[in-house]
């Protein structure tokens, strides 16, 4: 397709005159300029007025498309934010320069026969209520009363027109407002780049090509806006304009619900459409707009939408499984661990790719082959994370088992604690809705020599040292008990920091009395917690217990890290 175009620098007066009407199409983003951008625009025009009144000022380019069928209707492909803000400024100027016919004509076009007023610039954006907001402010009889009543919840059109009103009201005190109006109309320039063809669709397609090229060279327009324009063009070619609008609204709504931007969804899509090859970074614009293997070149627009919705479905499935262990009793555990260890709000692309390729409609089916495949993938994903982040590649599994404390010094025990809990509760996943608490057992129990506790407590009944309300007193008491105990006082610090001294619980940690705390442990749904609770209640939890517990947890982890011993391992899932 030959990209024939017209480009001639024009003054604001020439752009906003005659019978030309500018239409902001439905696929464009909503009006988004705030006082910050409006202030920058106004300050630039003022500076030009003060410094170079004769030379004028250039405001940049806009991209337009028109058909020979409707020569006077120009579709705004790029430039809607500036044109909308300029229209608001012109409206305000008209309130101070009421006899200026050029200002009036810049805002309204009168029908030749009926004298009906038509907006010079009209928005048909479907994502927001821009059409009504814009129409409302252009009908304002601007006054200080209206603009002094602006509220935070008011729309941007109202906020910005009142910004210009207040600024021009102050400007008028020291400057000739009529002269400023003429300067704005005659000496401020824009370069409209226009494409023209027999019908609107072809003209638009040409303009979109220019739009993509310009924006790929650094202008500030989001990637999703460019892709939306391309998809809209594809939909028009298939005569499915209304369907596109509904699909895009749906995509926008769904992505917002899972807290992903459209750009992020397209980034995932780029990985998926590149034969599932994972790369650190993909230049989205280059891939989607220039590469031969772009889905824009070999898929229909509806197929692309289907792919995007499948990505969202995959993310939704991950979140659903993580929060419903009662429905997904095994897989939920591993998704919860992945969510914890990644420490990220977003799901790793590698996991999304796996979910994307998996048939999610058959869930939940514990014995389904793909379900087992996801479990195996998740377990391996966790292994890889641990080996990579905790540098355990050099530590042989058998050495790890023999020496309980041979763990990298910078290793966070939280992930080991969480994993050990899951590995010992294979069929009873506990949801993170319980808000996992990592409790240092020595904080509440330690050796708990009953006679020593009672003896120390009897000295000061008021302090209630058997309670757990004062953490400092509790820790001080615990240390004294350890030092007075025959059980490894020299290993106090070592055992205090060990894996065995930590446990995941399914209740909210609070500083109840010792007896109440024991009850929480004994009534837990978790076997490990009940086991510890029994030892605590019988005052048997001592240094040797914690050393043995550490060794047991390390053994569980060693088995988990040894892929050969994975009970889910089978040739069909390799």
pLDDT, tens digit (0-9, with 9 covering 90-100), for 429-470: 444 333 334 444 433 334 344 434 444 444 444 444 444 445
Cα–Cα distances in angstroms (integers) from residue 388 to residues 281, 381, 394, in the given order: 20, 11, 11
Please check whether residue 29 is in contact with residue 51, taking contact to mean a CB–CB distance below 8 angstroms.
Answer: no
Residue 170 pLDDT > 90: yes
Q: For residues 284 and 407, which has the higher predicted lDDT (pLDDT)?
A: 284
Q: Please write the tens of the pLDDT for every residue from 26-37.
A: 878 889 999 999
Q: For residues 461 and 245, which has the higher predicted lDDT (pLDDT)?
A: 245
**What mean pLDDT is predicted for residues 497-526?**
71
The CA radius of gyration of the chain, in Å to the nearest whole number, is 34
Q: How far apart are CA 82 and CA 60, in angstroms?
A: 9
Share of the chain above pLDDT 70, in %: 68
Half-sphere exposure of 210 (CA within 13 A, CB side): 26
Question: Can you give the residue ranges of every domain in the chain?
Answer: 5-215, 222-389, 437-561
Q: How far apart are CA 416 and CA 422, in angstroms?
A: 10
Residue 529 pLDDT > 90: no
Q: Worst-scoring range by mean pLDDT, 30-44, 191-205, 483-497?
A: 483-497
Q: Worst-scoring range by mean pLDDT, 48-62, 180-194, 302-316?
A: 48-62
Tell me the sheet residues that pair with 23: 75, 122
Give the CA angle between residues 134, 87, 138 to the nearest 5°: 40
DSSP-derived 3-state class of residue 292: coil
User: Which of 96, 110, 102 lies closest to 14 in space, CA to CA?
Assistant: 102
Q: How many CB atoms lie within 10 A of CB 249?
A: 12
Please give the pLDDT value at position 481. Answer: 53
DSSP-derived 3-state class of residue 78: strand
pTM of the model: 0.66
Q: Which residues contact 156 (CB under 8 A, 6 or more apart)?
A: 31, 32, 33, 34, 133
Q: How far apart are CA 510 and CA 117, in angstroms?
A: 69
DSSP-derived 3-state class of residue 437: strand
Please give the pLDDT value at position 295. Answer: 83
Confidence at 212, pLDDT banded by 50, 70, 90: low
Render 460-496 in DSSP notation, one character per residue: -TTT-TTBSS-HHHHHHHHHHHHHHSSS-GGGHHHHH
- Which segment, 30-39, 57-66, 236-245, 358-367, is predicted with the most confidence on average? 30-39
Please give the pLDDT value at position 538. Answer: 67
Give the CA angle between residues 309, 312, 313 to the nearest 5°: 85
Q: For residues 287 and 244, which has the higher predicted lDDT (pLDDT)?
A: 244
Tell me the sheet residues that pair with 502: 440
Q: Worst-scoring range by mean pLDDT, 87-91, 139-143, 480-484, 492-496?
A: 480-484
Confidence at 8, pLDDT banded by 50, 70, 90: confident
- What is the length of the chain? 574
Residue 553 pLDDT > 50: yes
Q: How far apart are CA 95 and CA 147, in angstroms?
A: 13
Q: How far apart are CA 13 and CA 103, in angstroms?
A: 8
Q: Please write the tens of the pLDDT for every residue from 262-280.
A: 888 888 888 886 654 545 4
User: Which of 62, 110, 102, 52 lies closest to 82 in space, CA to CA?
Assistant: 62
Q: How far apart are CA 228 and CA 256, in angstroms?
A: 16
- Which segment, 98-112, 234-248, 379-393, 409-423, is predicted with the most confidence on average? 98-112
Q: Is 6 left (phi over 0), alpha (psi -120 to 50) or beta?
A: beta
């Amino acid at each position: 397709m030959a990209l024939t175009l017209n480009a001639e620098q024009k003054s604001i007066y020439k752009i906003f005159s005659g019978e030309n009407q500018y239409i902001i199409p439905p696929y464009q983003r909503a009006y988004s300029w705030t006082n910050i951008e409006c202030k920058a625009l106004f300050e630039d025009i003022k500076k030009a007025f003060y410094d170079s009144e004769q030379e004028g000022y250039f405001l940049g380019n806009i991209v337009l498309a028109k058909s020979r069928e409707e020569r006077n209707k120009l579709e705004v492909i790029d430039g809607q934010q500036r044109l909308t803000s300029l229209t608001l400024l012109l409206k305000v100027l008209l309130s101070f320069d009421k006899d200026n016919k050029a200002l009036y004509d810049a805002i309204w076009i009168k029908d030749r026969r009926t004298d009906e007023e038509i907006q010079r610039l009209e928005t048909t954006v479907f994502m927001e209520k821009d059409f009504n907001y814009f129409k409302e402010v252009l009908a304002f009889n601007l006054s200080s009363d209206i603009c002094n009543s602006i509220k935070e919840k008011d729309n941007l059109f109202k906020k910005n027109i009142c910004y210009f009103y207040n600024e021009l009201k102050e400007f008028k005190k020291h400057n000739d407002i009529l002269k400023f109006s003429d300067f704005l109309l005659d000496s401020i320039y824009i370069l409209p780049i226009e494409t023209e063809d027999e019908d609107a669709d072809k003209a638009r397609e040409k303009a979109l090509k220019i739009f993509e090229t310009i924006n790929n060279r650094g202008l500030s327009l989001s990637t999703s806006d460019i892709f939306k324009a391309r998809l809209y063009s594809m939909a028009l070619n298939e005569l499915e304009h209304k369907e596109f609008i509904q699909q895009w609204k749906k995509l926008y709504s769904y992505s917002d619900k899972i807290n992903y931007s459209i750009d992020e969804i397209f980034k995932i899509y780029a990985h998926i459409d590149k034969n599932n090859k994972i790369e650190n970074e993909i230049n989205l614009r280059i891939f989607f707009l220039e590469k031969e293997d772009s889905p824009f070149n070999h898929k229909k627009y509806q197929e692309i939408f289907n792919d995007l919705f499948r990505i969202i479905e995959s993310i939704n499935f991950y979140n659903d499984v993580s929060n419903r262990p009662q429905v997904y009793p095994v897989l939920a555990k591993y998704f919860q661990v992945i969510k914890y260890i990644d420490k990220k709000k977003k799901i790793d692309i590698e996991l999304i790719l796996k979910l994307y390729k998996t048939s999610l409609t058959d869930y939940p089916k514990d014995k389904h082959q793909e379900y087992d495949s996801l479990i195996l993938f998740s377990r391996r994903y966790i292994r890889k994370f641990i080996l990579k982040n905790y540098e355990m590649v050099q530590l042989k599994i058998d050495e790890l088992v023999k020496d309980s404390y041979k763990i990298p010094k910078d290793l966070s025990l939280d992930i080991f604690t969480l994993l050990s809990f899951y590995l010992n509760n294979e069929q009873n996943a506990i949801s993170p809705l319980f808000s996992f608490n990592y409790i240092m057992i020595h904080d509440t129990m330690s050796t708990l020599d009953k006679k020593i506790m009672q003896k120390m407590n009897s000295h000061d009944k008021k302090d209630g040292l058997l309670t757990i309300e004062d953490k400092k007193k509790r820790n001080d008491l615990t240390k004294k008990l350890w030092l007075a105990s025959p059980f490894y006082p020299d290993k106090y610090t070592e055992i205090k920091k060990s894996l065995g001294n930590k446990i995941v619980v399914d209740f909210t940690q609070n500083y109840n009395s010792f007896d109440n705390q024991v009850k929480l442990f004994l009534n837990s749904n978790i076997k490990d917690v009940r086991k510890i609770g029994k030892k605590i209640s019988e005052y048997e939890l001592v240094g040797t217990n914690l050393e043995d517990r550490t060794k047991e947890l390390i053994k569980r982890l060693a088995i988990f890290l040894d892929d050969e011993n994975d009970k889910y391992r089978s040739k069909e899932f390799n």
